[in-house]
Structure 1
Amino acid sequence: MDINDLMAEILRQSTHEGCFTLGELLHYSSVRSLTGIGVSKEKTHTFFLVLSGGEPDGAIFVDEKGTLFGDSAVLHLTGSEEFEFFLVAQPIVDALTARCRVFEKCHLKKNGSLDIPTIGAPTRQRVGVLCLTVRDGRAPLAGAHVSIRKGKLVITSDVTDSAGRVCFRLLNGRYMCVVSDRNGERTRCIVEFHEPQVETCVDIGGTEDENR
């Protein structure tokens, strides 16, 4: 059973509470300490927001490319979504949250705004695109597994294409990049970017090139 089928089965057995914008849902569930699941369905994707006691504790984003969980799913919110909200039993919500927990709740500011402030600074973090080209010496490394981490948390991951390239949509900032080649060997390096789009190279046989 895929994630859409699983969620559909859960919602079929749950009580429909109403339809809300993102901001309305966050406010409504918070003031009533509600536990449940909000679902927003578009032609190309589906978004699930898991709330526990009024707090947005989990998120799932599903499209034709696959499924994203937690913080990486939240980055795909635009703030203009319409959600159907269902009241769901606490044990089910707890089980789901364990798989899709949102750690950086600043991603979900009140009123559904996704402009994320940087504490102690006048500027705001922005969502950008980080593209990595993984090489083994001069040769691009296809099929390498690349994960982007903050501390011990895996924010997102993907596999390089035939050109050794992979791209991630992330908040500008500093991340740990972990590369696994086909032999399971790993290379770790720090990646930092503060522009709308950054291209950089990672050489698993050496050190990371400078951002270009």
Structure 2
Amino acid sequence: MAINDLVDEILEQSTHEGCFTLSELLHYSNIHSLTGMGISKDSTHTFFLVFSRGEPDGAVFADEKGTLFGDSAVLHLADGEEFDLYLVAPPIADALVSRCRVFEKSHLKRNGRLDIPTIGAPTRQRVGVLCLTIHDGQAPLAGAHVSVRKGKLVITSDVTDSGGRVCFRLLNGRYMCVVSDRTGERTRCIVEFHEPQVETRVDIGGTEDESR
């Protein structure tokens, strides 16, 4: 079976975790010690990055000229790549890695794609908690549906509590938040956070006031 067909078959049985840039993918997988597969596709090529317990242990690069595996594939990585991450059962990931193992992780480190820790320096916070309090005028909006998006992808969603509050655990970054109620979509706003925890008030009128 061709590698593309094999991967497609695996993804049909896998859970989609989110959409990430290459740097975000490496950090997110490492922090959560994930076993899975990152897929990047465009009109000219497809790239698969296989993670085992948070480590990028396998790689495949395929284009019209053919397919490269392991270290040769990693050399074609670019920071502009965007990946869909899928959670994969460890035995399946291990089987894939056996066909496309990356031996030289320095290929990634050399290009700044994996953080090299500095002794004595504080660890940069990569995952945080974003808490939104939704207000309709002066009153908190209970039961509102809030979705968090990155591009066209819905990363997560939840419903506000009686105080109009809802919290999400996310990678630090910039997101689009969409607030809806029973009548439909009410407002959208951009939220950006880079702290361990951020509290943000969102007014249905479209204004946003952030306090930490």
Q: Could you state the TM-score of these two structures normalised by the residue count of structure 1? A: 0.52
Instruction: Map 1:130-141 to 2 at 5 A.
Output: none
Structure-2 residue corresponding to 1:4: 4
Structure-2 residue corresponding to 1:103: 103
Measure how far apart 1:78 and its partner are: 1.2
The secondary structure found in structure 2 opposite 1:108 is: helix
Where does structure 1 lack aligned partners over 5 or more consecutive residues? Answer: 118-212
- Deviation string 1:172-197 (CA, Å, 9 cap, x unpaired) is xxxxxxxxxxxxxxxxxxxxxxxxxx
Structure-2 residue corresponding to 1:29: 29
Is 1:78–1:114's contact at 8 Å kept on the other side of the alignment?
A: no
1:81 aligns with 2:81: yes
Partner Cα separation in structure 2 for residue 109 and residue 27 of structure 1 = 13
Partner Cα separation in structure 2 for residue 45 and residue 69 of structure 1 = 14
Partner Cα separation in structure 2 for residue 23 and residue 109 of structure 1 = 11
Partner Cα separation in structure 1 for residue 53 and residue 41 of structure 2 = 23
Q: Residue type matched to 1:113 in 2?
A: G
Structure-1 residue corresponding to 2:210: none
Q: How large is the Cα RMSD of the aligned pairs?
A: 1.9
The secondary structure found in structure 2 opposite 1:109 is: helix
Q: Residue type matched to 2:62 in 1?
A: V
Structure-2 residue corresponding to 1:40: 40
Is 2:26–2:113's contact at 8 Å kept on the other side of the alignment?
A: no
Measure how far apart 1:114 and its partner are: 5.9
1:90 aligns with 2:90: yes
Partner Cα separation in structure 1 for residue 6 and residue 95 of structure 2 = 13
Partner Cα separation in structure 2 for residue 83 and residue 73 of structure 1 = 15
Measure how far apart 1:5 and its partner are: 1.1
Q: Residue type matched to 2:112 in 1?
A: S
Partner Cα separation in structure 2 for residue 72 and residue 40 of structure 1 = 17
Is 1:39–1:48's contact at 8 Å kept on the other side of the alignment?
A: yes
The secondary structure found in structure 2 opposite 1:16 is: strand
Partner Cα separation in structure 2 for residue 30 and residue 63 of structure 1 = 28
Structure-2 residue corresponding to 1:177: none
Q: Residue type matched to 1:10 in 2?
A: I
Partner Cα separation in structure 1 for residue 74 and residue 106 of structure 2 = 10
Partner Cα separation in structure 1 for residue 23 and residue 68 of structure 2 = 22
Percent identity among equivalent residues? 71
